[in-house]
């Protein structure tokens, strides 16, 4: 469910990025897009490990690793094509178009379980605060 919220914010920000009036606005929107898209890979791996049957987990990890390799090598070619044939705006709008499709797939793939209220982890909160302060 966290992935769906982050993806919704990422979609909105990606759609707005080409309309940024200045450098600082674009930078702020890029930071928000980066923070929300940063949840995709970690939550995707958690999703694979928690929902796939044990005999299929290795294939889920392989698809996850292949996705990272494929996207990092193909993204620059797609971005170049967008700039040559369409507009640089499509570099961001591409994400705004395809993220809702990903959200639909995730929505249908999430097992229907009641939401449990987690107990706060004070140790985790302390480490998170320390990590933010070190940044």
pLDDT per residue over 63-83, tens digit each?
887 877 777 778 777 777 777
Residue carrying structure tokens 């990092």: 72
The stretches of the chain forming alpha helices (DSSP H) are 2-16, 23-51, 57-85, 89-109, 122-134
Given pLDDT bands bounded at 50, 70 and 90, which one contains residue 111?
low
- Give the mean model confidence (pLDDT) for residues 8-28: 84
Give 55 or 116, the one with higher predicted confidence. Answer: 55
pLDDT at residue 89 tops 80: no
Residue 117's pLDDT is 67
pTM across the whole model: 0.64
Evaluate whether 10 touches 95 at the Cβ level (below 8 Å): yes
């Amino acid at each position: 469910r966290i992935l769906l919220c982050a993806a919704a914010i990422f979609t909105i920000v990606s759609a707005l990025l080409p309309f940024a009036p200045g450098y600082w606005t674009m930078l702020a929107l890029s930071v928000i897009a980066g923070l929300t898209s940063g949840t995709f890979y970690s939550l995707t791996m958690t999703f694979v490990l928690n929902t796939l049957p044990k005999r299929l987990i290795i294939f889920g990890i392989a698809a996850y690793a292949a996705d990272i390799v494929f996207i990092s090598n193909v993204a620059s070619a797609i971005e170049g094509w967008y700039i040559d044939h369409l507009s640089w705006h499509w570099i961001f709008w591409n994400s705004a178009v395809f993220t809702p499709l990903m959200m639909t797939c995730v929505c249908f793939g999430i097992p229907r379980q009641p939401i449990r209220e987690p107990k706060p982890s004070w140790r985790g909160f302390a480490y998170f605060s320390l990590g933010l302060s070190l940044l």
